[in-house]
Homo-oligomer: A and B are copies of this chain.
């Protein structure tokens, strides 16, 4: 695995998780790095998010400290103080300022952080920092909660004669606790870019990836994606073409990571990809794709390998987008099921087999002759999802 120059990683077990699994990750840039962040739009958000928005974007950034097992959300004034203490303990261990340290937390809501364990874990993580793949993987493991496995992606791209490397990690399987989920992502690159460019690249990448996925649509209090650029790959990337090339590479890495989240959705038996074309605008297409992705009836139909196009078409109808029902066409896994507002005769057993035989279900909707399009990914909805999220009492 190629890793970008200029970063060191560690992941340790601090005892926040009852399981004893790794729960503190540290990602450090050897020198001042560029950083950008994208955060949850939930008004009820964790104190870590309040902290990060004040220190990003920046070009003097040094470290991200992540704890899993506790979201430090809805924890009031004590939670704000504990979050600041996480940043300060990291800054002391690394010899940097607190304002150079971002904090990410994920896990149970409404419970105070075990600060003694956290501070000890940060010390351990600081002393075990290293730049190799083993440490990168340890960090990616330490940020997970209900994930079945760590989620990482990597890309190398030649820009203006220089090799730029991107490596990223993410976590997420459901939206929020107490089964300790949320969506976090950290993207590292050795490209040299300004904070303004970094923010624009991250905004575009997030819009096309992490903002296009859902498990059950419940927005977390702690969602965050950071982009760190160490600048060690070479000279400043500043031409529009070069920025576009880096942006495309970062977007691809984020899409690869983002798809892993619903694929790993709590109890998921299918990843569902929804493409909407022909809408009046990208926003309209997005709204339709999001509505279809959110339908429990669409999701349970896929779970049951049921080519139940009525559930899909009727979800399009209540998306709140102005459209004509006789311009709706639906293709599922390559089979045309609905055309120009009329049902198409098809072999239900054949389509059902296609859903059952493939982990990924492809839903293609065209809704008119407009240029608007959007792609979303979601998980199906299984008995195991409900078990997972109901058979647990705080």
Contacts and interface: CB of A to CB of B under 8 A. Distances in A.
B301 A44 contact: no
A385 interface: yes
A218 B305 contact: no
A85 to B, nearest CB: 19
Contact of A390 (B294, B303, B316, B318): B303
A306 B386 contact: no
Contacts of A55: none
B314 A73 contact: yes
Given A296-B218, A317-B221, A310 B176 contact: yes
A348 B394 contact: yes
B391 A218 contact: no
A112 to B, nearest CB: 9
Interface in A167-192: 174-178
A387 B176 CA distance: 24
A310 B104 CA distance: 18
Copy number in the complex reads 2
Interface residues of A, number: 67
Interface string A70-82: 0001111100000
B176 A390 contact: no
Nearest to A389: B300
A311 interface: yes
A307 interface: yes
A381 B386 contact: yes
Contacts of A323: 43
Contact of A389 (B74, B221, B304, B385): B304
A225 interface: no
